[in-house]
Structure 1
Amino acid sequence: MAVQLLLAAFLLGAIPAAAQTPASKQAPLVWAFGDSLTAGYGLPPAQGFPVRLQAALRRSGVAATVRNGGIAGDTSAQGRARLAWGLRGLGRRPDLVIVELGANDMLRGMPPSATEKNLDLILRELKRRDIPVLFVGMRAAPNLGATYRRAFETLYPRLAQRHRVPLYPFFLEGVAGNQALFQADGRHPNARGVEIIVKRILPAVRNALRKR
């Protein structure tokens, strides 16, 4: 009898909404869209940035899935060219795209104005699709000179302000300058370096997901 009364009360709406079990919510999907740094170049997939970020998010209580959208060697122009089909390949709209591009432009000495144009178009397209973004900056190598470095490094905060997206200023924060955290090529972080990158960027990723 008690079960019958409880069922009747539920059907008639007598049970307060707070006592009813909400429908399950789809787990957040994060797309790490970038170059070799997000692709985990030179590392087993289990030690790469997407897998380690996913593990860190889940340890912190965010049951997110992080998909790898990094391709080694990609410039901002190549990233721009593959953005649309990359999004289609995810199967659903991501809850957050981490945009990390520009390092290869800098290493090739490409004009910062061209990099800014490509990244601007990427951010515009993501905004048009109403997809939240965490924009990731990069620093220029010292040997490129002060003029190039200033032009390159300032384009990231400028674009973040223009598109009103959160900026994580430097992907390699806490790792750059410490060769013990890099692979033999001196450019790509090793497993220890990736763990530091993930630890540093995790709060920014969590904040971006909260605001989606």
Structure 2
Amino acid sequence: MLIKNVVSNLMQSGGKRIRPLFVLAFNKLCSNSIPEDLNIIAASIEYIHTATLLHDDVIDNSDSRRGKSTAQKLWGSKASVLVGDFLLSTAFKWLVSSNNSEILKIVSETSVAISRGEIKQLVSKLDFNSHTYYDVIRSKTAVLFAASCEIGAVAGGANYEQRCAAYEFGLNFGIAFQIIDDIMDYVGTETGKPSGADFMNSRITLPLILAYQE
């Protein structure tokens, strides 16, 4: 019941589900046939993303996400961490069941990169510059977009050149996506994201870095 409540709370708070859509879209770009387990693979990517959001809210001590109370505010940090771990475990269980070692390798390497990005952001708060910023958002955000695109291409039987192109598209999309999200934190939006949250949580992002440089 706790798992259902926590996941439902996060899913109902909005989100665009772009990553699983990229899996499906790049599969279609590279093939006319859709593997039977492609939906499960796409869902596993969203589960991984959802798990990182639950963990992020605990790390940042966030009370709201997209205008709604976070799981860690409603059920506590322990519940958020444990449900996040459950989602990660389930995602890898689904990926293993797909019996595609190449896709499993991509997701495993991506998970390591995401963790490295989180750790680097944590330890770099007092020594943050544009180089560190791009390194962090590449690991925290962009690599999962890149993996989503590459996985879709792999599932569609893409060759090496096509896989690389898919990965690069996703990586650059993810970097742009995060930069826009960080700008929105300063200019305000109608999406429900509270303005100034990054600054209040001592998270140094590109707008503040550029302002400081000027």
| TM-score, normalised relative to structure 1 | 0.27
Name the larger-Rg structure. Answer: 1
The structure with higher relative contact order (CA 8 Å, sep 6+) is 2
Query: Which structure is higher in helix share?
Result: 2
Query: Which structure is higher in strand share?
Result: 1
